[in-house]
């Protein structure tokens, strides 16, 4: 397996775990928000997309990132409207 493929798998799994964790925490008040995992994901995402630009063409990497962005906007809206 190439380094790019391993990086893609790691970003996909980590992103999916963060999305599921955020949904459980935000909607069902189960668990805690994993700030260090999110920070590590962001750093890894930026550094790996610089090293392997083709990762951005993979839907399995972009979909969790897009869901995280939507969750962030939803959280900001809920926080400042209520």
Could you tell me the two tokens for 69? 């962005």
Q: What sign for the dihedral angle of Cα 58, 34, 47, 2?
A: negative
Give the residue numbers spanning the domain of 17. Answer: 3-81
pLDDT surpasses 80 at 72: yes
**How many structural domains compose the chain?**
1
d(CA 54, CA 36) in angstroms, rounded, equals 26
pLDDT surpasses 80 at 58: yes
Write down the pTM of the prediction: 0.86
> Over the chain, what is the mean pLDDT?
91
Identify which has the larger pLDDT, 34 or 65: 65
Query: DSSP secondary-structure letter at 2?
Result: -
d(CA 54, CA 33) in angstroms, rounded, equals 30
Burial of 29 (0-12, 13-18, 19+ CB in 10 A): exposed
């Amino acid at each position: 397996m190439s380094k790019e493929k391993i990086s893609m798998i790691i970003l996909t799994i980590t992103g999916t775990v963060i999305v599921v964790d955020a949904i459980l925490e935000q909607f069902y008040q189960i668990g805690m928000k994993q700030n260090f995992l999110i920070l590590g994901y962001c750093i890894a995402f930026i550094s790996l997309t610089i090293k392997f630009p083709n990762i951005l063409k993979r839907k399995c990497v972009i979909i969790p990132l897009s869901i995280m962005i939507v969750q962030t906007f939803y959280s900001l809206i809920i926080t400042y409207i209520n």
